[in-house]
Structure 1
Amino acid sequence: MAEYTGGSVEADHLCVLVHGLWGNPDHMRSAAKALRDRFPPEQVYILVAKRNSGYFTYDGIELGGERVCLEIEEELEKIRSGGGHIKKLSVVGYSLGGLVARYAIGLLFARGVLDELECMNFTAFASPFLGVRTPLKGWANQLFNVLGARTLAMSGRQLFGIDRFRDTGKPLLAVLADPNSIFMSGLARFKRHTLYANIINDRSAVFYTTGISKTDPYADLSKVTVHYLPGWEDVILDPARPVSPAAPTAPPTSLRATLETWARRVPLVAALALVIPLGVVAFLVNSAIQTARSSRRVRLHERGLAGIPVQDFRRVSLWIKEIREAVEHTYENLNSAQHQAYLVDDGEEDDNDDDGTATTNGAVAAKANGDASGGRGKGSGEDDNGGDDGKALLALERKQSRQQEGGFPTLALAPYQFAAIQALERLNWRKYHVWIHKVRHSHAAIIVRSERSGFDEGWLVLRHWATEEFLV
């Protein structure tokens, strides 16, 4: 890693790389190498964030963002003391690291650090901008959304949107995307916003959240035709026209349809029959231990005993304007086996349910609202909805659900997720949809997280980012 990081005194551009959940700095080795292969140490200085390694990622987006902010400030001071002068800043986040990076950027903005820098690139690889709450129906939804949110300590609560951030009354993910927050104002400073999202086989963060999308056109690849970006075929789709409806085919026979339905359920059945009995006890025990350790670290951090001047970060206002609106593998295997639910037009029935049961629009909307809270009571559900504003937003999404590009139905997301999409889209993202074919763990492959056979398609993604997207 050392051969790719750092830089010389002549470098005026700092690029910060932030790893994801359960990660460590070595996960960003390939990204650092791709960048260094393109830009010499005299041009770009590379910093790989280190303070959130391993189970420290359980401690939450806020604490993780404060650690990264401090690390960036310390590196800038180190470069200055060595005779260097950084004029430009780029930030790259992978998976959870994309959210941690956004929090750190907000702090840097509030503390005036960005005033002294030209903000160039913000890039996210498979980052769950909308969290990891699964828009589902049925008991599997409850199992994943409720248990998943409670096995990853504070990070889990924030990723599933069941937390209440400070005195805002809203999930941290909603605050991160609030147009009046320091986080969106800081993010808007960057000249280029780029994301790379896996279209299938991402067992940690599915397409709708990494692609900041209300729809998932890749839910059934047999119904669409994908279009590749010229020169980057078979991996990166053309952002101007990534997909189009496939030519109609004869409907399958009743037997074939039944077999295909059961085939889609095989991953979930396998997880329940094999993975859970063998691994769930160890997973939950470890989760309990790590949650306890994380809680202790957070308490020490809050008291200023973790080596970070927490009050320096907490004194900054979260808002640009004075607004206070009331507002490990077991997990991945369960997530990858889910089928998504959709909003439907008023008076119509949802024909997308794989078990053949029809769900009315009102039921799906209620599901979208209730599941955001992990199955909590009515009072907390009202917080998630944002009251009348949340209901109005859902009504608007239902009205537009059959008007999406390509006719793809709108997913049954929570109101705060629809609001986040609306706010984030104002940044004019350059979105690249990625199809990793060779392995069934595309979340790791997209960033070439390790030297593994089959991850070579990820190198193409990294080369595209370094050569075509990275502004210097």
Structure 2
Amino acid sequence: MVPSGEDLSSAGRRVGAVAEDGRRERIKNKGGLKNHIRRRLVCFCGGAAGEHREAVGGGIPQMGGGEIDRAPTHLVIMVNGIIGSAQNWRFAEKQFLKRLPQDVTVHRSRCNGNLLTLDGVDVMGTRLAEEVLSIVKQGPKLQKISFVGHSLGGLIARYAIAKLYDPGLPEKPSEEDGSHEDPDKGTKRLKKGSEGKIAGLEPMNFVTFATPHVGSRWHRQIPMLCGVRLLEKTARRSSRILGRTGRHLFLDDNDMGRPPLLVQMVKDSDDLHFISALRSFRRLVAYSNVRFDHIVGWNTSSIRHQDERPKLKAHTKISGYRHIVRVEPPKAVNIEQDASLDFDMKTNELQEAMIDSLNKVPWERVDVSFHKTIQRFMAHETIQVKTRCLNSAGADVISHMIDNFLL
């Protein structure tokens, strides 16, 4: 029997439909394969593709999934380190939003990524300050602010808060009660209810992870150089490879005859109140690697003198946090004492004076050790959980930060 034209047409349509379904399936499988490969590559390349998508998205802060009529009032700014990006804080952001969905709005700073981190601490700090102001304008219900910085990000955040600091209304000295302000003290009394603000918000937490607070110039503060002074001198001479940032970290900058920037940042000046801005926060925390951080030394990251470092054998695990070996509560400080900072003094004396100045604010110190995990060789990244599949051992450190976060 010879098929009719109608039958042939119907059969042709069925064959075409089958072919089209097959083509769609191949496209679907191909796309699925591409997505699978992309997800796997994120573990090794730091999520560059994801970072691009976030940048296209406009950099809007991530909010918790709280009630519509209760927008979070606490802004958390997260700052990446050198040659880093906002993607480095992705794990920590997810933990914040999972644990505190109705309390915090998290913004991973995007203004200082990759090669932009070589522009210098002052330039990056100014960019961060401008970024924070733009975020605050978008959130009229915001009331509080906190900063979390990793490595160089801690220095960037310290500069930014000095730019954003508003000291409030100073209380005029009264001759009747015998109070007289000494202009050389650098400390002003504030009227009740007018404490300092950061970007117009109440400062809450200032947290740093493996940050070289007094720079990398000092002996044994770049552990990978093994304390060999010849290598340390060579590293200092080569610091220009890292642009203005390298000169800042090694205190080799001398802009307009001024002291190095990191020296300026350990005390208040006429235009930037670095110490007062830090003091305005209710909680200051320095997380530091005890061992295996090959980039930032224990002294500079924990803001301790050499003889103040606790003995390793005295370390004990903190219950619930496998890799935290010591928590040192903040000490009482004398805000009136003013350490003399003369850049002509000997190197060791300058380092000690910088540490003394930074200790005019009460730091809580958290010592971390990854010595029982293979990830110890990447301790500088693991303390932040820079990449989940390579630095997962640091998850308990992030949990400790969130568990103790002031809201």
Between the two structures, name the one with larger relative contact order (CA 8 Å, sep ≥ 6). 1
* C-alpha spacing 1:142/1:114, structure 2 compared with 1 (3 Å): closer
| Alignment partner, residue 16 of structure 1 | 77
| Aligned-partner residue type, residue 15 of structure 1 | V
| Aligned-partner residue type, residue 49 of structure 1 | S
Check the 8 A contact 2:118/2:244 in 1, yes or no: yes
User: Which structure 1 residue ranges, 5 or more long, are not aligned?
Assistant: 242-322, 328-383, 392-412
Check the 8 A contact 2:317/2:325 in 1, yes or no: yes
* C-alpha spacing 1:220/1:116, structure 2 compared with 1 (3 Å): closer
Residue 237 (1) aligns with residue 330 (2): no
| Alignment partner, residue 212 of structure 2 | 128
Q: SS at the partner of 2:327?
A: coil
Q: C-alpha displacement at 1:79, in angstroms?
A: 1.7
| Alignment partner, residue 207 of structure 1 | 298
Residue 162 (1) aligns with residue 96 (2): no
Q: C-alpha displacement at 1:5, in angstroms?
A: 4.4
Q: C-alpha displacement at 1:137, in angstroms?
A: 5.5
Q: C-alpha displacement at 1:128, in angstroms?
A: 0.7
**Inter-partner Cα distance in structure 2 for 1:192 and 1:217:** 21
* TM-score, with structure 1 as normaliser: 0.58
Residue 86 (1) aligns with residue 142 (2): yes
* C-alpha spacing 1:240/1:53, structure 2 compared with 1 (3 Å): closer
| Alignment partner, residue 200 of structure 2 | 116
**Equivalent of residue 46 in structure 1, options 65, 88, 106:** 106
* C-alpha spacing 1:94/1:200, structure 2 compared with 1 (3 Å): same
Check the 8 A contact 1:207/1:216 in 2, yes or no: no
Q: SS at the partner of 2:110?
A: coil
| Alignment partner, residue 430 of structure 1 | 364
Residue 35 (1) aligns with residue 126 (2): no
Residue 139 (1) aligns with residue 230 (2): yes
1:407-437 alpha-carbon deviations (Å, 9 max, x no partner): xxxxxx5333212211211211110000013
| Alignment partner, residue 402 of structure 2 | 466
Check the 8 A contact 1:179/1:423 in 2, yes or no: no
| Aligned-partner residue type, residue 238 of structure 1 | R
| Alignment partner, residue 40 of structure 2 | none
Residue 186 (1) aligns with residue 277 (2): yes
**Inter-partner Cα distance in structure 1 for 2:81 and 2:161:** 16
Q: C-alpha displacement at 1:62, in angstroms?
A: 0.4
Check the 8 A contact 1:145/1:160 in 2, yes or no: yes
1:217-271 alpha-carbon deviations (Å, 9 max, x no partner): 88996xx3422223324x1012259xxxxxxxxxxxxxxxxxxxxxxxxxxxxxx
Report the number of matched residues. 297
Residue 441 (1) aligns with residue 342 (2): no
| Alignment partner, residue 352 of structure 2 | 418
* C-alpha spacing 1:417/1:78, structure 2 compared with 1 (3 Å): same
| Alignment partner, residue 76 of structure 1 | 136
**Inter-partner Cα distance in structure 2 for 1:228 and 1:179:** 37
Q: SS at the partner of 1:414?
A: helix
| Aligned-partner residue type, residue 85 of structure 2 | N
* C-alpha spacing 1:238/1:137, structure 2 compared with 1 (3 Å): closer
User: Which structure 2 residue ranges, 5 or more long, are not aligned?
Assistant: 1-49, 169-196, 220-226, 330-337
* TM-score, with structure 2 as normaliser: 0.67
Q: C-alpha displacement at 1:146, in angstroms?
A: 1.9
Check the 8 A contact 1:445/1:458 in 2, yes or no: yes
Q: SS at the partner of 2:274?
A: helix
1:195-274 correspondence to structure 2 within 5 Å: 195-215=286-306, 224-233=313-322, 235-240=323-328
1:1-54 alpha-carbon deviations (Å, 9 max, x no partner): 8799422761111110000000000001112122112111x3211111101110
Q: SS at the partner of 1:238?
A: strand
1:338-384 alpha-carbon deviations (Å, 9 max, x no partner): xxxxxxxxxxxxxxxxxxxxxxxxxxxxxxxxxxxxxxxxxxxxxx3
Check the 8 A contact 2:112/2:127 in 1, yes or no: yes
Check the 8 A contact 2:218/2:348 in 1, yes or no: no
1:313-343 alpha-carbon deviations (Å, 9 max, x no partner): xxxxxxxxxx9x995xxxxxxxxxxxxxxxx
| Aligned-partner residue type, residue 113 of structure 2 | S
| Alignment partner, residue 353 of structure 1 | none
Identity %: 28
| Alignment partner, residue 101 of structure 1 | 157
